[in-house]
């Protein structure tokens, strides 16, 4: 059984691999699955607090 790890970070706290992973997930969900081909990068990421979950394992 895997555990869910919640992460909370500002834009400046992201590592490059974390940022890549989050952006890929957003593209997979919003652009591909929801067929919403609009720019996802909107200049708000630098100001936002980002919360996501990862499976530990």
Task: Give the list of residues 6+ apart from residue 53 with CB closer than 8 angstroms, or none.
Answer: 4, 5, 6, 7
How far apart are alpha carbons 2 and 56 in whole angstroms?
A: 6
User: What is the per-residue pLDDT for 31?
Assistant: 81
Q: For every one of its 57 residues, what pLDDT tens digit does the chain have, with 9 covering 90 and above?
A: 679 999 999 999 999 999 999 889 888 988 888 888 777 788 899 999 999 998 886
The dotted CATH code for 3-56 is 3.40.630.30
Q: Is the whole model's pTM more than 0.85, yes or no? A: no
The answer to whether 4 touches 54, Cβ cutoff 8 Å, is yes
User: What is the per-residue pLDDT for 1?
Assistant: 64
Segments making up each domain of the chain, as ranges = 3-56
């Amino acid at each position: 059984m895997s555990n869910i790890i919640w992460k909370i970070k500002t834009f400046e706290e992201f590592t490059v691999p974390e940022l890549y992973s989050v952006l890929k997930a957003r593209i997979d969900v919003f652009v591909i699955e929801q067929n919403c081909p609009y720019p996802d990068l909107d200049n708000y990421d630098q100001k936002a607090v980002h919360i996501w979950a990862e499976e530990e394992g």
